[in-house]
């Protein structure tokens, strides 16, 4: 959201949701580490004095959410080119219900709490700010608990949704073992820095024979706490292989864990 004009984005999101028949689930976030220094400046944006680019992204998100409500805010021209409806005007096209289908990609407990207060669903990926030194799945489970408690206090009428992302590969043929079998199935989380000051934890990949994979995934506390699991795929390996990888999860792993 550091790069986005919130009103333009509301137009695009409304159009996409109408085209999709009200099925759009839209995820937004501050954004990942950049390839260039202060890239948002090249798009015409800069944080207010005393604020960070992350603050600016959240402010853009708040404007975006407000506009999605569909309430009029702009005074109409008394001599318009085309007739206007009565009252203040809103951004068009407007899609009713989209406001309740916005997800925030959060890497910290604080921003997950902020997202809950604003009524956004929560996305937690394979990277999170390291806030306790514990494994990623434990930190994410605690993040989800913070989020749901904040949602409850906010008193929203719709139900919160939570997704976590994982890289999961069932080793069922020679291709799987050639690509992912050399990891031994016991890969751990990794620690790194996404900027000069932010220590982050990067989640492990799961790659093992189906039976072993089921046991490993059953011990993942964040997967158990979330209601939605997003699978990350290696797109560089092509559509055919990724379709196979997803089919293997659905066929050999998901039924054993009660996923649907």
Q: What is the DSSP string of 144-172?
A: HHHHHHHHHHHT-SSPP-EEEEE-EEE--
Residue identified by tokens 């919160």 is: 160
Predicted TM-score (pTM) of this structure: 0.92
CA distance 44 to 236: 33
Other CB atoms within 10 A of residue 219 CB: 10
Which pLDDT score is estimated for 140?
98
DSSP summary character for residue 143: H
Which pLDDT score is estimated for 130?
96
Other CB atoms within 10 A of residue 230 CB: 14
CA distance 188 to 198: 20
CA distances from 95 to 10, 16, 101, 105, 160 (A): 10, 9, 11, 22, 20
- In the chain, where are the structural domains located? 1-97, 106-260
Q: Residues 208, 191, 236, CA angle at the centre, nearest 5°?
A: 50
Which pLDDT score is estimated for 5?
96
pLDDT (tens digit, 0 to 9) for every residue of the chain, 260 residues total? 999 999 999 999 999 999 999 999 999 999 887 789 999 999 999 999 999 999 999 999 999 999 999 999 999 999 999 999 999 999 999 999 999 999 999 999 999 999 999 999 999 999 999 999 999 999 999 999 999 999 999 999 899 999 999 999 999 999 999 999 986 556 799 999 988 888 999 999 999 999 999 999 999 999 999 999 999 999 999 999 999 999 999 999 999 999 98
CA distances from 190 to 74, 129, 213 (A): 49, 12, 20
Q: Half-sphere exposure of residue 2, counting CA atoms within 13 Å on the CB side?
A: 19
| Nearest Cα to Cα of residue 138 among 224, 257, 256 | 224
Which pLDDT score is estimated for 184?
58
How many residues in the chain? 260
CA distance 124 to 105: 6
- The CATH code belonging to domain 106-260 is 3.20.20.30
- Contact between residue 202 and residue 214 where contact means Cβ atoms under 8 Å apart: no
Exposure class string for 201-217: b at 16+ Cβ within 10 A, else e = bbbbbbbbeeeebbeeb
Which pLDDT score is estimated for 134?
96
């Amino acid at each position: 959201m550091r790069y986005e004009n919130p009103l333009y984005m509301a137009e695009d999101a409304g159009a996409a949701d109408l085209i999709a028949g009200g099925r759009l689930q839209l995820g937004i976030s501050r954004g990942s580490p950049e390839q260039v220094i202060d890239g948002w400046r090249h798009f015409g944006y800069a944080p207010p004095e005393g604020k960070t680019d992350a603050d600016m992204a959240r402010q853009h998100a708040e404007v975006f959410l407000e506009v999605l409500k569909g309430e009029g805010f702009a005074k109409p021209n008394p001599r318009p080119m085309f007739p206007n409806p009565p009252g203040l005007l809103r951004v068009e096209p407007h899609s009713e219900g989209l406001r309740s289908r916005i997800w925030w990609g959060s890497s910290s407990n604080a921003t997950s709490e902020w997202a809950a207060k604003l009524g956004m669903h929560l996305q937690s990926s394979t990277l999170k700010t390291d806030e306790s030194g514990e494994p990623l799945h434990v930190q994410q489970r605690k993040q989800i608990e913070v989020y749901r408690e904040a949602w409850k206090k906010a008193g929203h009428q719709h139900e919160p949704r939570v997704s976590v992302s994982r890289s999961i590969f069932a080793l069922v043929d020679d291709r799987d073992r050639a690509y992912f079998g050399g990891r031994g199935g016991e890969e751990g989380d990794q620690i790194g820095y996404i900027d000069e000051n932010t220590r982050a934890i990067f989640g492990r990949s799961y790659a093992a024979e189906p039976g072993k994979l089921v046991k490993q995934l059953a011990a993942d506390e964040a997967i158990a706490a979330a209601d939605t699991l997003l699978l990350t795929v290696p797109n560089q390996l092509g559509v055919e292989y990724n379709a196979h990888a997803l089919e293997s999860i659905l066929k050999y792993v998901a039924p054993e864990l009660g996923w649907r």
